[in-house]
């Protein structure tokens, strides 16, 4: 196939961001996608439940102003586009409560936010120090190290668990600088009701899929290797043959890059390999549950419930999701990979429902669906997380293409908006701009 101006590997948010920019400049492109569907980690299930169920991202994060990129929009251009199309994108101001307590105890009124605030403060302090020293890895520490002095706080373990669910990685492996960078455009984390996190009841996956309209995409086309050592251009090997192009944009996750299942010929330079060693995939899962009746004791639609007990496994349970007799259980951390591998995610989610709402609620479950990001060979985890000292690796991938022919994009290559859908989208656009510069030189 080809030759094309640019071949894009991966049809998630980053791949579609890159495709949009290149098509607007009149370049010939081909997007190669390993899976049998588009969207990557924003894939949406429209058939199992009365409302769309996003297996991956469902919030627009960081819809804050002013945008660091200038202009009138927010820091989340996807949110701006959805809003301009007239889609319902309400702020997530829904309550966060602990269960089982009677009546449900508001999270904001308990000790968790205080502890969370202290830990976040410690992270921001440590991250700020690392940033001050020009991202010197020696000044970056883990979130666990930064907050070690707070261990005696009443809900420290609970707070740990809530943060692990949010970041997907255990806190002794999460870089404070990485968290600090997110704070440049994020006001509040998902754990709190907030104006800068927005929901899209019509399905994030359905929304992202609209960016694929008119884009030439080949599905079921896993790329095996990318040859970039020839006289010019790239030769991309898929099961259907070789695709040639002047340049490639690689948007696969760091999980896929680390796995070695996508070969580079010549091999990735040492600098990129070292960068990869400082980045890892956290693990995050979502389990959708349908009930035969309303078991949510009068809670409003989309209330987020957390377990009351002080333990390090803290799922966020979106109850009465979109007003239906549905719940969405979100859990992150190392245990997710293990549970997914053993097929235990659904049982885990049911147990949480039983703990929070009683066995009757558990027995009212009629249908379940679980994500499988960690065992998915084309993703291999939830989203990227930098190890202490690992943040500069994000920029190596974002800014250092291979021989001006192989460019990298994807959420992991975003310094300030990593681990997000819009961060991925923007990284795709940025990579496309870099390619355009090289092609026009």
Ligand X SMILES: Cc1cc2nc3c(=O)[nH]c(=O)nc-3n(C[C@H](O)[C@H](O)[C@H](O)COP(=O)(O)OP(=O)(O)OC[C@H]3O[C@@H](n4cnc5c(N)ncnc54)[C@H](O)[C@@H]3O)c2cc1C
Binding span for ligand X by CB under 6 A among 29-37, 111-119, 143-151, 289-297: 29-37
Closest CA to 206 of 320, 289, 85: 85
56 binds ligand X (CB under 6 A): yes
Restricted to residues 406-425, the positions that interact with ligand X (CB under 6 A) are: 410-411, 419-421, 424
Residue given tokens 């600088």 in the structure block: 177
Binding span for ligand X by CB under 6 A among 57-65, 152-160, 270-278, 304-312: 57-65
Restricted to residues 182-241, the positions that interact with ligand X (CB under 6 A) are: 222-223
In the complex, minimum distance from the CB of residue 56 to ligand X, in angstroms, rounded to a whole number = 4
Let me know: does 278 contact 386? Beta carbons within 8 Å: yes
In the complex, minimum distance from the CB of residue 126 to ligand X, in angstroms, rounded to a whole number = 24
315 binds ligand X (CB under 6 A): no
Restricted to residues 382-401, the positions that interact with ligand X (CB under 6 A) are: 382-383
61 binds ligand X (CB under 6 A): yes
Closest CA to 30 of 241, 231, 200, 175: 241
Burial of 257 (0-12, 13-18, 19+ CB in 10 A): buried
Cα–Cα separations (whole angstroms), residue 337 to 175, 191, 392: 21, 22, 26
Residues 6+ apart with CB under 8 A from 312: 157, 158, 160, 161, 164
328 binds ligand X (CB under 6 A): no
Number of residues that bind ligand X (CB under 6 A): 40
In the complex, minimum distance from the CB of residue 19 to ligand X, in angstroms, rounded to a whole number = 11
How far is Cα 374 from Cα 372, in angstroms, rounded to an integer? 6
Contacting ligand X (CB under 6 A), which of 7, 19, 30, 35? 35
Contacting ligand X (CB under 6 A), which of 322, 378, 397, 407? 378
Burial of 429 (0-12, 13-18, 19+ CB in 10 A): buried
Q: How many CB atoms lie within 10 A of CB 132?
A: 10
In the complex, minimum distance from the CB of residue 373 to ligand X, in angstroms, rounded to a whole number = 5
How far is Cα 133 from Cα 377, in angstroms, rounded to an integer? 38
Binding span for ligand X by CB under 6 A among 4-12, 64-72, 157-165, 397-405: 4-12
59 binds ligand X (CB under 6 A): yes
Binding span for ligand X by CB under 6 A among 10-18, 127-135, 142-150, 181-189: 10-18
Beta bridge partners, 199, equal 59
Q: Which is nearer to ligand X, 122 or 208 (CB)?
A: 208
Query: Which helix H or strand E contains 246, and what residues bound it?
Result: strand 241-250
How far is Cα 138 from Cα 42, in angstroms, rounded to an integer? 35
348 binds ligand X (CB under 6 A): no
In the complex, minimum distance from the CB of residue 218 to ligand X, in angstroms, rounded to a whole number = 9
Question: Residue with the closest Cβ to ligand X?
Answer: 40
287 binds ligand X (CB under 6 A): no
Using DSSP's 3-state secondary structure scheme, residue 407 falls into strand
Q: Which is nearer to ligand X, 310 or 427 (CB)?
A: 427
Restricted to residues 257-276, the positions that interact with ligand X (CB under 6 A) are: 262
11 binds ligand X (CB under 6 A): yes
Q: Which is nearer to ligand X, 177 or 249 (CB)?
A: 249
Q: Which is nearer to ligand X, 156 or 228 (CB)?
A: 228
Binding span for ligand X by CB under 6 A among 36-44, 100-108, 298-306, 385-393: 36-44
34 binds ligand X (CB under 6 A): yes
Q: What is the DSSP string of 149-169?
A: GGTTSTTHHHHHHHHHHHHSS
Residue ranges of E strands in 2-101? 4-9, 29-32, 44-45, 53-54, 59-60, 91-92, 96-99
In the complex, minimum distance from the CB of residue 250 to ligand X, in angstroms, rounded to a whole number = 9
13 binds ligand X (CB under 6 A): yes
Q: Tokens representing 335?
A: 């245990």
Residues 6+ apart with CB under 8 A from 13: 39, 40, 41, 42, 57, 78, 208, 411, 421, 422, 424, 425, 428
Binding residues (CB under 6 A) for ligand X: these are 9-15, 32-35, 40-42, 56-59, 61, 222-223, 251-253, 256, 262, 284, 286, 371, 373, 378-379, 382-383, 410-411, 419-421, 424
């Amino acid at each position: 196939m080809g030759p094309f101006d640019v071949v894009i590997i991966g049809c998630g948010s980053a791949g579609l961001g890159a495709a949009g920019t290149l098509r607007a400049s009149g370049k010939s492109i081909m997007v190669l996608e390993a899976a049998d569907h588009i969207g990557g980690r924003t894939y949406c299930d429209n058939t199992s439940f009365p409302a769309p169920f996003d297996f991956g991202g469902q919030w627009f994060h960081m819809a804050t102003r002013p945008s660091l990129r200038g202009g009138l929009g927010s820091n989340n251009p996807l949110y701006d586009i959805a809003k301009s199309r007239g889609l319902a994108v309400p702020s997530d101001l829904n309550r966060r409560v602990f269960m089982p307590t009677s009546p449900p105890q508001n999270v904001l009124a308990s000790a968790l936010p205080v502890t969370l605030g202290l830990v976040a403060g410690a992270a921001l302090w440590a991250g700020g120090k690392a940033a001050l020293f020009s991202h010197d890895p020696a000044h970056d520490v883990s979130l666990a190290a930064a907050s070690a002095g707070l261990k005696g706080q009443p809900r420290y373990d609970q707070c740990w668990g809530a943060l692990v669910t949010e970041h997907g990685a255990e806190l002794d492996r999460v870089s404070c600088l990485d968290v600090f960078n997110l704070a440049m455009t994020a006001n509040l984390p998902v754990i709190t009701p907030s104006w800068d996190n927005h929901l899209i009841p019509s399905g994030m996956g359905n929304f992202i899929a609209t960016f694929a309209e008119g884009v030439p995409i080949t599905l079921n086309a896993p790329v095996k290797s990318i040859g970039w050592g020839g006289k010019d251009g790239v030769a991309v090997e898929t099961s259907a043959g070789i695709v040639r192009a002047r340049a490639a944009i690689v948007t696969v996750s760091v999980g896929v890059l680390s796995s070695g299942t996508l070969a580079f010929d010549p091999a990735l330079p040492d600098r990129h390999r070292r960068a990869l060693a400082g980045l890892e995939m956290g693990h995050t899962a979502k389990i959708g549950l349908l009930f035969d009746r309303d078991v949510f004791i009068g809670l409003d639609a989309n209330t987020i419930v957390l377990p009351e007990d002080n333990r390090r496994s803290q799922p966020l349970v979106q109850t009465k999701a979109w007003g239906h007799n549905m719940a969405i259980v979100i859990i992150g951390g190392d245990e997710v990979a293990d549970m997914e591998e053993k097929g235990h995610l659904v049982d885990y989610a049911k147990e949480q429902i039983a703990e929070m709402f009683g066995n009757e609620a558990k027995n009212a479950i009629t249908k379940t669906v679980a994500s499988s990001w960690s065992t998915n060979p084309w993703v291999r985890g939830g989203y990227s997380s930098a190890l202490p000292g690992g943040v500069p690796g994000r920029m190596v991938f974002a800014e250092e293409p291979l021989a001006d022919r192989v460019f990298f994009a994807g959420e992991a290559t975003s310094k300030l908006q990593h681990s997000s859908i819009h961060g991925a989208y923007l990284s795709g656009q940025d990579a496309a701009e870099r390619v355009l510069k090289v092609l026009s030189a």
